[in-house]
Structure formats: structure tokens, C-alpha cells
């Protein structure tokens, strides 16, 4: 599975890094950097270092992203102007990702292949986290990332 | 390894050409990502997995600390000069 993940993860990491560095809007750069740190934490997790992967996610996707967002808001560089269409699209995207995550929890298998795992009860979230399944962690991270995009859209000033 | 090198080069290029101090800090974060990935990848190929993991751990901690200090400096500079463009800040200093 690691050989299957490596090219995709590398492409995702480079793509999000390029988007973060060369995007005109600081808010988009911030979100792409958040995704980039999630992907890097995922890479660490898939290759066996769960602790380092989680530390990477908690530190960069958590603390540093919040600090960057605070600095962006304090310096007035935030341009969270997204139209109604983009807000709806992000909500639909979040709903789709949540549906995929729910289906993986119910059926215990990632759609399109990947590591199959034991079936889990949908209500035992803590058990899901401790029974370390890299593809499910990926889906969980995608849900968090899409939630962040939704929150950004909800706090946008225009487009209401 | 190639991905790590590419990220470091991308970040360094963005630092040198950035016209926004916040983007400079973000570019530094990309460089740190590349460095962490390179350290981790070097431990995968050899037998020093524990050492590389420890180095990644320290790199993450140091990188986060440096970024927090950098962001504090950026906010202070903005409050003093009212802009985040390094060229304009140089002009205002004269």
C-alpha cells in the first residue's frame, strides 16, 4: 500500500505547496498550507511513524495554521470574499466528504480500494481512532479540511 | 527525497521573490516541510530510523517556534509601517 500511496501523496504535497506559495489571495494560501501539512502528516503516518505524523498535524495544521490565520486577520490581509455559489459548493463538498467518511465507518472499507479493515460500529469513534487505519485517517483529515473551508465561507463578509 | 528537495527549492525561491512578509513566513513553512520529509526519508532507507524520527521531532518543534517568532515580527512590522511589502518598508525606513 505504501507504494500506491507514495506518488499520489507526493503529487498532493507538491500541488498544495505550489498553490500555497503562488496564490494571489492570502486566505487561499493559508488553506492550501493547511492541506499541505495534513498530507505530510498522512505520509508520515502511512510509512509507520504514527506519532510523528500526528505531531506534524497537531503542530502545523493546528497551532501554526491558527497563528497564521490570526496574523492574517490582524494585518488585514484577509480577503474572505467568497460568493454565495462558492459557499454552497463548499457545503456540498463537505457533505459529500462526510458521506464518504460515514460509509467507510459503516462498511469498513475505502471506496475504490485500499486497506480493508475490520468492521466498526459507527458510534465507537474512539475505537476507530485507536485502531489506526491509514485510509480512514485520510478521510478524517479530509473532513476536517473541508470543515475549515466551510467555516471560512461562513465568516465571509460579502456574498450574503 | 526528490519531493523533499523540490519543496525546499520551491520554498527558498518563494522566500527570495515574495512581496509579502506573510507569504515569506508561509514559504519558510514549506521549506520546513521539505526538510522534515528529507529527514524522514533518510531514516527509511537506512537503519537509523529512530535517529531520523528524533530529528524530525526536533525539527517540527523548532520550525513551529521559529514561525511563531516570525509571525510576531510580521505583526509588529505591520503595526509600525502599515504595510507588509518589503520594498515599501525599505523606503519608509529612509
Q: Which of A79, A104, A128 is the last residue of a domain?
A: A79
From A10, A45, A17, A11, select the one nearest A31 (Cα to Cα).
Answer: A17
Q: Are residues A129 and A141 in the same domain?
A: yes
Q: Are residues A48 and A71 in the same domain?
A: yes
- Other Cβ atoms less than 10 A from the Cβ of A25: the count is 14
Exposure b/e, B3-16, CB count within 10 A at least 16 = b: bbebbbebbeebbe
For the CA atoms of B8, B9, B11, B15, what is the dihedral angle to 10 degrees? 130
Q: Are residues A113 and A90 in the same domain?
A: yes
Q: Are residues A50 and A87 in the same domain?
A: no
Reported ipTM: the value is: 0.84
Q: Are residues A45 and A67 in the same domain?
A: yes
Contacts of A29 in chain B (CB under 8 A): 23, 26
Answer with the residue of higher pLDDT: A120 or B74.
B74
Q: Are residues A60 and A85 in the same domain?
A: no
Sign of CA dihedral B74, B38, A130, A143: positive
Profile chain A (160 residues) by mean pLDDT over runs of 10 residues: 66 84 81 85 81 86 85 71 54 56 50 43 51 60 66 56
CATH number, residue A9: 1.20.120.1200
Report, as an integer, the average pLDDT of B24-33.
Answer: 91
Task: Find the closest chain A residue to B63 by CA distance.
Answer: A60
Pick the CATH number of B2-93 from 3.40.718.10, 3.30.420.10, 1.10.287.3510, 1.10.10.10: 1.10.287.3510
Q: Are residues A156 and A123 in the same domain?
A: yes
Residues 21-40 of B with CB under 8 A from A: 22-23, 25-27, 29-30, 33, 36-37, 40
Chain A touched by B48 (CB under 8 Å): no
Q: Are residues A90 and A75 in the same domain?
A: no
Distance, in Å, from the CA atom of A58 to the CA atom of A128, rounded to the nearest integer, reads 18
Nearest CA of chain A to the CA of B91: how many Å? Answer: 19
Nearest CA of chain A to the CA of B83: how many Å? Answer: 8
Question: Is A71 in contact with B7 (Cβ distance < 8 A)?
Answer: no
Report, as an integer, the average pLDDT of B31-50.
Answer: 83
What angle in degrees, to the nearest 10, is found between the helix axes of A26-46 and A2-22?
Answer: 160
Q: In this complex, which of B40, B68, B71 lies closest to A44 when CB atoms are compared?
A: B40
Q: Residue A21's domain spans which residues?
A: 1-79
**What pLDDT does residue A40 have?**
87
For the CA atoms of A11, B43, B7, A7, what is the dihedral angle to 10 degrees? -10
Task: Find the closest chain B residue to A42 by CA distance.
Answer: B37
Q: In this complex, which of B7, B26, B61 lies closest to A29 when CB atoms are compared?
A: B26
Q: In chain B, what are the domain boundaries?
A: 2-93
For residue range B5-19, what is the model confidence (pLDDT) as tens digits?
Answer: 888 888 888 888 888
Chain A touched by B58 (CB under 8 Å): no
**What pLDDT does residue B31 have?**
92
**What pLDDT does residue A145 have?**
66
Residue B78's pLDDT band, with cuts at 50, 70 and 90, is confident
pLDDT mean across residues, chain B: 84
For residue range B44-62, what is the model confidence (pLDDT) as tens digits?
Answer: 776 667 788 888 889 999 9
For residue range A7-34, what is the model confidence (pLDDT) as tens digits?
Answer: 777 888 888 888 888 877 787 788 888 8
Contacts of B44 in chain A (CB under 8 A): 47
Pull the grid cell for residue B14: 518563494
Pull the grid cell for residue B65: 517556534
Pull the grid cell for residue A68: 497564521
Q: Which of A31, A62, A79 is the last residue of a domain?
A: A79
Q: Which of A49, A79, A109 is the last residue of a domain?
A: A79
Q: Are residues A57 and A125 in the same domain?
A: no
Number of folded domains that form chain A:
2
Best of A3, A19, A21, A65 to disrupt the B interface (most B CBs within 10 Å) is: A21
Q: Are residues A75 and A87 in the same domain?
A: no
For the CA atoms of B53, A141, B13, B63, what is the dihedral angle to 10 degrees? -40
Q: Are residues A89 and A17 in the same domain?
A: no
Q: Are residues A2 and A25 in the same domain?
A: yes
Amino acid at each position: 500500500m505504501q507504494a500506491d500511496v507514495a506518488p499520489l501523496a507526493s503529487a498532493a504535497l507538491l500541488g498544495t505547496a505550489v498553490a500555497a506559495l503562488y496564490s494571489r489571495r492570502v486566505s487561499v494560501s493559508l488553506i492550501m498550507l493547511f492541506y499541505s501539512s495534513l498530507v505530510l502528516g498522512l505520509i508520515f503516518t502511512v510509512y509507520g511513524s504514527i506519532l510523528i505524523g500526528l505531531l506534524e498535524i497537531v503542530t502545523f495544521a493546528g497551532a501554526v495554521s491558527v497563528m497564521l490565520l490570526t496574523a492574517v486577520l490582524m494585518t488585514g490581509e484577509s480577503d474572505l470574499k467568497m460568493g454565495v455559489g462558492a459557499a454552497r459548493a463548499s457545503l456540498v463538498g463537505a457533505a459529500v466528504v462526510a458521506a464518504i467518511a460515514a460509509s467507510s465507518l459503516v462498511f469498513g472499507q475505502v471506496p475504490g480500494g485500499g486497506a480493508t479493515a475490520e468492521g466498526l460500529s459507527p458510534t465507537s469513534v474512539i475505537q476507530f481512532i485507536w485502531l489506526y487505519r491509514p485510509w480512514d485517517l485520510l478521510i478524517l483529515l479530509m473532513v476536517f479540511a473541508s470543515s475549515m473551508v466551510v467555516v471560512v465561507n461562513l465568516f465571509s463578509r460579502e456574498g450574503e | 527525497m526528490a519531493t523533499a528537495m523540490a519543496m525546499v527549492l520551491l520554498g527558498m525561491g518563494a522566500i527570495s521573490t515574495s512581496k509579502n512578509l506573510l507569504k515569506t513566513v508561509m514559504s519558510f513553512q514549506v521549506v520546513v516541510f521539505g526538510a522534515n520529509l528529507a529527514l524522514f526519508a533518510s531514516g527509511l532507507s537506512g537503519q537509523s530510523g529512530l535517529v531520523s524520527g528524533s530529528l524530525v521531532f526536533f525539527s517540527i518543534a523548532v520550525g513551529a517556534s521559529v514561525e511563531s517568532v516570525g509571525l510576531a515580527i510580521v505583526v509588529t512590522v505591520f503595526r509600525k509601517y502599515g504595510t507588509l511589502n518589503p520594498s515599501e518598508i525599505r523606503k519608509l525606513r529612509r
